[in-house]
Chains A and B, each alone.
Chain A
Amino acid sequence: MSDPDSPFDLGAGMAGLSTEVIDGTEAETSALNARPAPQNAPLKLVKGGASQPLRHESGVLHVSGTAAYIDDLPEPKGLLHLAPGLSTKASARILSMDLEAVRAAPGIVLVLTADDIPGHNDVSPVGKHDEPLLATDTVSYYGQMIFAVVAETRAQARAAVRLAKIIYEDLPAVLDVAQARAAGGELVWRSLTLSRGDAPAALPKAPRRVSGSLSVGGQEHFYLEGQAAMAMPGEDGEMRVWSSTQHPTETQLMVTHVLDCPGALVTVEVRRMGGGFGGKETQANGPACLTALAASITGRAAKLRLDRDDDMTITGKRHDFVIDYDVGFDDEGRIHAVDMVLAARCGWSADLSGPVTDRALFHADNAYYYPDVRLRSEPLKTNTQSNTAYRGFGGPQGIVGAERLIEEIAYATGLDPLDVRLRNAYESGTTRDLTPYHMNVEDSIAADLMKTLAEDCDYRKRREDIRAFNAKSRFIRRGIALTPVKFGIAFTATHYNQAGALVHIYTDGSVQVNHGGCEMGQGLHTKMVQIVMREFALEADRVRITATNTGKVPNTSATAASSGADLNGMAVLDAVTKIKDRLIMFAAEHWSVTEKEIAFTPDGVKAGDTLIPFPDLIKAAYFARISLSSNGFYKTPKIHWNPDTGRGRPFLYFAYGAACSEVAVDTLTGEMQIERVDILHDAGQSLNPAIDIGQVEGAFVQGAGWLTTEELVWDAAGRLRTHAPSTYKIPGCSDRPRIFNVRLLENAPNREDSIFRSKAVGEPPFVHGLSVLHAISDALASLNHYRTCPRLDAPATPETILRCADRLRKTAEAHAAPGTA
């Protein structure tokens, strides 16, 4: 297991899988057997192929500084640089715009305004036409792009921007959920209602009832590589765009809108992003369109790399929510009815707020069965950045609502919150398996996961020990919480659930693979390479992945919704299978054996007793005029969703997990420290356990950051004051848990026919961060002897924690004071 030169060595215990298990699993359950596969299994699998650990395909480039991001690409001759000019008002009419000094500044080639756009001044990703690329007569948030300077150097462009003189007339602005509601509650998207049974009728009938409200903050993506794009004009109106985008097809489409040209003229390419997390699903379009516009007008290549402060000021973030809840339950902690309104600060345009708030509703049950339920969304328009996709896409916010209900019930009944969670978990195959959107949860393992994890990490005993510690500790309090996640996998926009791939084998036997997904660090390209490796039994160095390019695989979906490997993996497999079928047919004929006697092994291709090196087979096939290239395609089966009725099966399957966090809180200052975290996560039959563990660890820390130190602060004028890492605090190295145990669920193949029975892993583990919020809450509850629900809002910054502690202490004092009840 430890070959230091091997690219897939992981150290002791990391593999955790045997090829026998994989083969057995597949033979028993995979519908993939329908394709003509080699039948003389069990086959020896190539080391590092799909379902085994393999290092990131760009790992060596990353550590050497030779992995190229947009700003690192060789610069074309005459490259121009852009910088955007931003609104300094949250809501205003532009009375005049004097850009003369900007134009006169050194090195300025052009100043772009909306008037320079030959096509549509619109980059709304959902066709709502509510998002001009450059503002015209009004501005709708502080930071909106109004103009763009095109200069010989980036420094010149940035310096010139400051010389603009814009006179505004203030208009009324609404900045948050409360202000938006007070101003009439204008929505950017229709409200969705999910209901089953009759919650308003069932609530008063429940033995116990609690209502309340919570707020959960937004989150800046803080991809380390900011938004960046470079465009190069070609002949006859062609345009090549390199963009740090999660959605090259949409970027291509937006460029065609702005330039008013056919899609066939525009090619968008992305080799890798320095992080995305949803922040480059739609937000990359603006920079790409501006560079294409500049390139189109000047005939020169143009690049825009946003300064970090501009990036954070311009682009949308995770939606913050205010969730009003009303829950009916009994003394056993069983939920009878739930009524929730989930209101989101969506910003100035729709962007993806519709599907985001929908997904919040889809996850407002987390892993729990609500007998009577009504969930309503309120996607509110505000004069702030247009909030957008962010890992979990509203799901985590919905789950925050569900977990608050659990906490309320636990404090009301005196039960351990874990018991409340277990008693309300979906029970597949019973009447308690129907979601608020009328999809049966066929695979609920949430309760089992929670029980296993509680046992593994000694939750019950530690909870008692912590209570004993808190009884003696005056200022430092500890807390523990174990929370589950159930996360629905598929785009809720059904048509997005398709993918394409393109695989070539060259005559030397090397393979090039391309697909519609984008690499942003999640290891998607590594997994796609592994699929090819596994199918052809080739080593990693024989399989080359190339940049995502709209000219190679067209009409792709965003790399989002955790779907990258699910969709593109199946498309790659389809392409590989088509070529493989041809090769098998050819080899059987050529070596006079049956097709069943052909097998691809790490030693070479077996044709009966003959062993043929893979390159020799390919050469022979080429001379026999066999096509060595194929596209591949996949569409997710089974799913359907009707927002008008609130019914359907929006998800192919669910990914599950459970996390237990223990924290220590300094109740004098509100400072907090994560002492220990244990996670058990369901990645199905993982495509790459090493990468998936990395996803779980990273997602947990990101999720914990969202709920603790990451606080977005706007001032009264609507200006974002936390617009750089000096003011916006993502977790640092020392914020990671003191003890951090992450384990993937073993022997847990996806019951649905996913790529090699794996499960999507990008978003679901983000939710594990919730265990930290609830552990802090548990620590604080000790201040009032666990009598009341702390109702700790997020982000639980030191100040939020101290305020909560102050409130609980005062409640406790009032309770203890003589003469009071």
Chain B
Amino acid sequence: MRDTIRFWLGDEYIVLDDVPPAMTALDWLREKRGRTGTKEGCNEGDCGACTIITVRRNTSATGTEDLAWSAVNACIQFLPMLDGAQVYTVEDLRAPSGALHPVQTAMVEQHGSQCGFCTPGFVMSMVAFRKRAETKNGPVTDTDIDDALAGNLCRCTGYAPIIRAMRQALNAGPDRFDAETAKIIRRLAEMESGAGVSISTDAGRLTIPASTDELAATLHADPAARIVAGATDVGLWVTKLGRTLTHIVFIGRIPELRHIETTAEGVTIGAAITWSEAEAPLCAIQPEMRDTFRRVAACPVRNSATLCGNIANGSPIGDGPPLLIAANAELLLRKGDQKRRISLEKFFIEYGVQDRAPDEFIEAVFVPAPKEGTLFRGYKISKRFDQDISAVMAGFSLTLRDGCIRTARLAFGGMAAIPKRAAAAEAALTGRPWDEAALAAARDAISQDFTPLSDLRASAWYRLEVARNLLTRFHAETAGPEPVRLSVRTSCEETLHV
């Protein structure tokens, strides 16, 4: 095992041996490295002022070597999570000559900054998006841009000039990094030793296992150790709740957990696969998940957060579980050498309690391919369209045979203390044609299934009403002719008259 973490920060090779495991990348950058261009706006991954870029090798998809440029929130990345990455902050963008990066030029020319505090974060998200857009098939839509920038809040500009700048930058020439791809790949390759990391400091212990065997052994030896994948939830325990984590086990780089396997039966998503990485394989088997995928969280969060982490934390308002429960997903768990497989819905026992032993960990989630004749939808309802926590999250799946509903899986988040299926509503539907009468029966039955809470996001009345109305939307979309959703932005519709 190594007793250091190492990564490239711009053109500097960083090796650290005395790392407080829960020190955030942001604090380290600002306080230890004087990189004050990266700002703290909220310290909870919601405003994007701290956005930095991590670059890693991306060899899984096609076998061809390329680089994955990811915008991430430095405020809730623990520093050790940067191990093995090429990291860039806003200070790295200008060429050695001092020339601005094309994104920076566009932001200046389009008046994309007013107070300037959110600007470095925007610029980093825009640089990362420009890299991703290079590999996209087809034109970049305004919806793509909205999605890429959903994790960056600006209070001054109203976003219009930033979109103009993004458009300009997409059409601009190469940046300083285009000529450095080979160098970056070499750097990343040189850091891949295959060895795990173990560091002990006064502030706590850090383990980065190199395999699931090492992970199992680590947890067996210290069941109190805290598993961290993307830290988009655990990060807030530190930055907001002031909790001390004595032993962090970072699982993000374990090869077996970085695995995605698609077969005729379905797709298996490893525990270290982020939401961003899971999108393509999951939506390949169930395209109806795509709309909700985007709304789970903004890009920098999806680039860090894992699908399985969203399950493991047991939150009643996580967006993944209702979607996956509706899809009849299964969870693969391991404890020591013992492996087991359970239905995902059984994992959630009650608020704060899941079917997982302290030294047990999730290896993967398996999502079966939908049977023929399956009607599926995922609906997320929140106060704001992007980067918000659900008031109600719904995953609906009906299988029809001969015009009748054979099975119904109606799963909800935000309606109970755990992600939960609406048993009475499902029973009301089963065996009937998917018609207005069935819909009415299911709508009525929902109130037997749930007694939701009122909180800052929505009242009990709203949650129940929306749960019913989402059944109506589901029916209208799958059995009726009417489109029932607000349109999405499809092209550059914005015009400017001055």
Residues of A within 8 A of B (CB): 4, 9-11, 13-14, 16, 55-56, 58-69, 71-72, 155, 158-159, 162, 221-226, 272-277, 305, 307-309, 473-476, 520-523, 664, 666, 668-673, 675, 689-691, 693-694, 697-702, 709, 711, 713, 721-722, 724-727, 729-736, 738-744, 797-799, 802-803, 806
Contacts of B190 in A (CB 8 A): none
B415 within 8 A of A: no
Interface locus among B53-61, B116-124, B260-268, B403-411: B116-124
Shortest Cβ distance from A671 into chain B, in angstroms? 6
The residue on B at minimum CB distance from A63 is B104
**A521 with B114, Cβ < 8 A, contacts A709-B384, A713-B456, A739-B494 known:** yes
Chain B residues near A69 (CB-CB < 8 A): 39, 117
Given A275-B156, A727-B456, A738-B493, A733:B46 Cβ within 8 A: no
Q: Is B72 an interface residue when CB atoms closer than 8 A count as contact?
A: no
The contact sample of 13 A-B pairs, CB cut-off 8 A, is A62-B120, A69-B39, A694-B111, A697-B161, A700-B158, A713-B456, A733-B386, A736-B159, A738-B489, A740-B494, A741-B495, A798-B391, A799-B462
Bound CA–CA A428/B388 (angstroms): 47
Q: Is the interface of A mostly helix, strand, loop or mixed?
A: loop
- Count class of interface residues, chain B: 35 or more
Expressed in whole angstroms, the Cα–Cα distance for A669 and B394 within the complex equals 13
Bound-complex Cα distance A730 to B436 (A): 38
Contact check, B113 vs A59: say whether CB atoms are below 8 A apart: yes
Contact A521 B115 (CB under 8 A): yes
Report B's interface with A, CB cutoff 8 A. Answer: 27, 30, 35-44, 46-47, 49, 89-91, 93-94, 100, 103-104, 107-120, 123, 143, 145-147, 149-150, 152-163, 240, 242, 298, 381-389, 391, 455-459, 461-462, 465-466, 469-470, 472-473, 476, 482-487, 489, 493-498
Residues from chain B with a CB closer than 8 A to the CB of A711 are: 383, 456
Residues B496 and A63 in contact, CB atoms below 8 Å apart: no
Q: Are A668 and B384 in contact (CB under 8 A)?
A: no
A62 pairs with B150, CB closer than 8 A: no
User: What is the bound-complex CA distance between A440 and B123, given in angstroms?
Assistant: 48
- Chain B residue nearest to A734 in the complex (CB): B146
Contacts of B89 on A, CB cut-off 8 Å? 65
**Residue of B108, B298, B383, B458 with most partner-chain A CB within 10 A:** B383
Please name the residue on chain B nearest to A678 by beta carbon.
B497
Report how far A701 CA is from B162 CA in the complex, Å. 13
In angstroms, Cα B485 to Cα A307, docked, is 38
Contact B44 A726 (CB under 8 A): yes
Residues of A within 8 A of B458 (CB): 798-799
Cβ contact within 8 Å between B115 and A734: no
> In the complex the two chains form, is A671's CB within 8 Å of B381's CB?
yes
Chain B residues near A72 (CB-CB < 8 A): 36
A701-B158, A721-B455, A735-B384 known; A666-B36 Cβ under 8 A: no
- Which one of A11, A698, A738 contacts B158 once the chains associate, using CB atoms below 8 Å? A698
Question: Do A274 and B158 form a contact, CB below 8 Å, given A63-B120, A64-B94, A739-B493?
Answer: no
Tell me the minimal C-beta distance from B125 to chain A in angstroms: 10
**Which residues does chain B contribute within 8 Å of A272, judged by CB atoms?**
115-116
User: Is the beta-carbon distance between B383 and A733 smaller than 8 angstroms?
Assistant: no
B314 to chain A, nearest CB (A): 18
Closest-by-CB residue of B relative to A680 is: B497
Contact A732 B386 (CB under 8 A): yes
Q: Please indicate the chain B residues that have their CB under 8 angstroms from the CB of A735 in the complex.
A: 384-386
B473 engages A66 (CB within 8 Å):
no
Q: Is the CB of A65 within 8 A of B486?
A: no
Q: Is the CB of B383 within 8 A of A63?
A: no
Contact of B115 among A224, A742, A798 (CB under 8 A): A224
**Taking CB as reference atom, which chain A residue is nearest B379?**
A669
* Cβ–Cβ contact A476 & B159, under 8 A: no
Q: Are A736 and B117 in contact (CB under 8 A)?
A: no
Closest-CB distance, B453 to chain A (whole angstroms): 12
In whole angstroms, what is the CA distance A269 to B483 when docked? Answer: 57
Known: A224-B47, A309-B240, A732-B150. A64 touches B37 (CB 8 A): yes
For B384, give its contact among A277, A732, A736 (CB under 8 Å): A732
Q: How many angstroms from the CA of A749 to the CA of B76 in the assembled complex? A: 50
CB distance from B165 to the nearest CB of A (A): 9
Beyond A55-B111, A691-B111, A802-B465, whether A797 also contacts B383 by CB under 8 A is yes
Please indicate the chain A residues that have their CB under 8 angstroms from the CB of B115 in the complex.
Answer: 223-225, 272-276, 520-521
Pairwise interchain contact B470-A694, C-beta atoms closer than 8 A:
no
Apart from A694-B114, A701-B159, A732-B385, what 4 extra A-B contacts exist at CB < 8 Å?
A225-B41, A273-B115, A277-B155, A664-B486
A379 to B401, CA, bound (A): 65
Chain B minimum-CB-distance residue to A16: B498
Q: Which residues of B contact A55 (CB under 8 A)?
A: 108-109, 111
Bound-state CA distance A731–B150 (Å) is 10
- The contact of A733 among B119, B146, B469, by CB within 8 Å, is B146
A666 to B107 Cα, complex, angstroms: 35
Docked CA distance A668–B298 (Å):
25
Cross-chain contact of A476 among B114, B123, B388, B486 (Cβ < 8 A): B486
A722 touches B37 (CB 8 A): no
How far apart sit A700 and B381, CA to CA, in the bound complex (Å)?
25
In the complex, which of the residues A224, A669, A735 has the most CB atoms of chain B within 10 Å of its own CB atom?
A224
Which residues on A sit within 8 Å (CB–CB) of B94? 64
Closest CB in chain B relative to A181 CB, distance in Å: 24
A798 touches B381 (CB 8 A): yes
CB distance from B77 to the nearest CB of A (A): 17
Closest Cβ of chain A to B377, distance in Å, is: 13
Given contact pairs A698-B158, A799-B459, A724 touches B109 in the complex (Cβ within 8 A):
no
From A64, A67, A274, A724, name the one whose CB has the most chain B CB atoms within 10 angstroms: A64
* Pairwise interchain contact A734-B158, C-beta atoms closer than 8 A: no
A residues in contact with B38, CB < 8 Å: 65
Q: How far is the CA of A709 from the CA of B387 in the complex (A)?
A: 12
In the complex, which residue of chain A has the Cβ closest to the Cβ of B166? A733
| Cβ–Cβ < 8 Å partners of A739 in chain B | 493-495
Q: Nearest CB to that of A744 among chain B residues?
A: B498
Bound-state Cα–Cα, A700 to B157, Å: 9
Please indicate the chain B residues that have their CB under 8 angstroms from the CB of A60 in the complex. Answer: 100, 104, 108
Bound CA–CA A72/B484 (angstroms): 48
Q: CA–CA, A162 to B89, complex, Å?
A: 33
Q: Which of A71, A474, A669 contacts B470 (CB 8 A)?
A: A669
| A residues near B103, Cβ cutoff 8 Å | 63
Complex: how many Å from CA A520 to CA B116?
9
Return chain B residues, CB-CB under 8 Å to A666: 484-486
* B289 nearest CB across to chain A (Å): 19
> Is there contact, CB below 8 Å, between B114 and A56?
yes
B-chain residues with CB within 8 Å of residue A225 when the two chains form the complex: 39, 41, 115, 117
Which of chain A's residues has its CB closest to B89's CB?
Answer: A65
Instruction: Please determine whether B108 and A702 come into contact, CB atoms closer than 8 angstroms.
Output: no
What are the residues of chain B within 8 A of A727 when measuring CB–CB?
389, 456-457
Contact B108 A224 (CB under 8 A): no
Closest to B37 in A: A65
CB distance B113 to A62 under 8 Å? yes
Contact B108 A673 (CB under 8 A): no
